[in-house]
Amino acid sequence: MNSARSTLTPHMAAYMDKFADSGDIRWMPYLMYFHPAAHKSPVVNTDAVGFRYSETGGWPYSVADRGDCPSVRLLAGSSTVFGIGASADKWTLPSRLSENDARPEPWLNYGGRSFNSTQELLLLMLYRHLLPEVKEIVLFSGFNNLGLARLPASLRGDSGAFFNCREFFDALAPRDKRQQGMFGLAKRLVGVEEAQAQEDTSGMTLAQQIDYAARLTLQHVRTWNAVAKDMGAKLTFVLQPLSGWVRSTGSKEEEALFAELEQAGRFTETYGDILTREVCLEYGSALERGARAMGAGFLNMAPILAERLKPSDWLFVDRIHFTDWGHDFVAKTLLEALQTQGDTP
């Protein structure tokens, strides 16, 4: 008997093969990890650096492969921007933004799978030199910092926890006593003690986690805003939607997928308290206050989508990533929201 996921979203296998923790992770200095470079498949294609291609009018383009395009708009963030869930490059958010935007500049895919806000910022710094004139930057992010906030302080450090951080710190541990000197020092420098590494949570209340995640995110948004101003571009931070932030019960397809994924990954068990609309509004309010104070735009997408979705609309392939229709729907809604609040230059 076929599973709901293999029946409803067979293309998700292409992400598991190369673009998941169990897939082909490309370990890199500074960023920790990034996508396989020059990857080609019917579902996902990346350029020589590892950025995913966008497509509009049948024409592919990417950060490192833009042709003669003189100016662009950037959609930056994590896996939702990268396009987990899309059946092909043309169905990612940046592609749908380009297809639905009357302005001539294409939207580049500047997403990094499983990135926190530190990694999103580092990606900008490391590859800014590849960009032409940038008219606009939309940073579509927010969940990963909040989800990772519940890890112990020993794993969060000064710049926030990242996915696979336990494996990273474990790799620094000494293999035998002869290595105690070098690796023991490294372990102390990153602040990881064996007892602390076994902790499962940060010890913070949910309110404290929201406050921590908002402060860390805004710390990096401030630098994004400074870089955007230097580029002559307008920055808007968009708090990405989660399924529970949009509606308590999804479409029949979503509910079938969520039930199956729960058995495999226990997302609700780990993040269930984060999935409420109250958390979305509290976290969004903190981010909006900070973004507006520094002169950046802000949108909380979940309430906007909630007003427009029909009960039967199939938006998510899992709790955080979109279907093809969902990418197009979110792109159209995002463009309209940006234009309505006057955040586009």
- Residue at token pair 């926190």: 116
Of 85, 143, 74, 142, nearest to 111 by C-alpha is 74
Signed CA dihedral, 255, 334, 277, 139: sign only = positive
Question: What is the C-alpha separation between 160 and 1, in angstroms, rounded?
Answer: 42
Q: Is the pTM of this model over 0.75?
A: yes
**Domains along the chain with CATH numbers:** 4-150+204-340 (3.40.50.1110), 163-202 (no CATH)
- Predicted confidence (pLDDT) per residue in 96-107, tens digit: 999 999 999 999
The C-alpha angle with vertex 288 and arms to 284 and 294, in degrees rounded to 5, equals 150
CA angle 57, 327, 41 (to 5 degrees): 65
Distance between the two ends of the chain, CA-based, in angstroms?
52
Check if the beta carbon of residue 109 is closer than 8 Å to that of residue 60. Answer: no
Q: Collect the ranges in the chain with pLDDT lower than 70.
A: 1, 21-24, 174-202, 342-345
Residues 6+ apart with CB under 8 A from 189: none
pLDDT at 15: 80
- Are the beta carbons of 121 and 223 closer than 8 angstroms? yes
